[in-house]
Amino acid sequence: MRYNYHQLDSLLDDEASAMNVLWVLAALGVSAPADDKSALFEKHADIAYRTDKGADKARHVLDVYVPKGKKDFPTVLFVHGGSWKSGNKNIYASLGQSLAADGIGCVICNYRLSPQVQHPGHIEDVAKAFAWTAENIAKYGGKQEQLFLCGHSAGGHLVSLLVTDEQYLKAEKHSPKEIKGVASLSGVYRIIAGERVFDGPFGKDEKVCKLASPLTHAAGKHPPFFIAYADNDFPQLDKMAEDMHAALKKAESPTELVKCKERNHYTIIIQFVNDADPLNKSFRAFVEKNCK
Amino acid found at 199? D
Q: What is the pLDDT of residues 59-116, one digit of tens each?
A: 999 999 999 999 999 999 999 999 999 999 999 999 999 999 999 999 999 999 999 9
Using 50, 70 and 90 to split pLDDT, how confident is the model at 292?
confident
Task: Give the C-alpha separation, 245 to 228, whole Å.
Answer: 10
Please give the model's pTM, rounded to 2 decimal places: 0.92
Residue 231, classed as helix, strand or coil, is strand
Determine which of 1-15, 145-159, 166-180, 244-258 has the lowest per-residue pLDDT on average.
1-15
**How many helices (DSSP H) and strands (DSSP E) are in the chain?**
11, 8
The structural domains of the chain, with segments of one domain joined by +, span 6-290
∠ Cα 133 202 230 (to 5°) = 70
Using 50, 70 and 90 to split pLDDT, how confident is the model at 20?
low
Average pLDDT over residues 29-44: 72
Strand order in the sheet with 105-109: 41-48, 61-67, 105-109, 73-79, 142-152, 179-185, 225-232, 255-264
Task: Give the C-alpha separation, 198 to 88, whole Å.
Answer: 20
Per the prediction, the chain carries an average pLDDT of 91
CB neighbour list of residue 74: distance below 8 Å, 6 or more residues apart? 104, 105, 142, 143, 146, 147, 148, 180, 287, 291
Residue 184, classed as helix, strand or coil, is strand
Distance of CA 26 to the CA centre of its chain: 18
* CATH number of this structure's domain 6-290: 3.40.50.1820
∠ Cα 189 195 200 (to 5°) = 90
DSSP string, 68-129: TT--SEEEEEEE--STTT---GGGGHHHHHHHHHTT-EEEEE----TTT--TTHHHHHHHHH
Q: Which residue has the higher pLDDT, 5 or 181?
A: 181
Q: Which residue has the higher pLDDT, 8 or 45?
A: 45
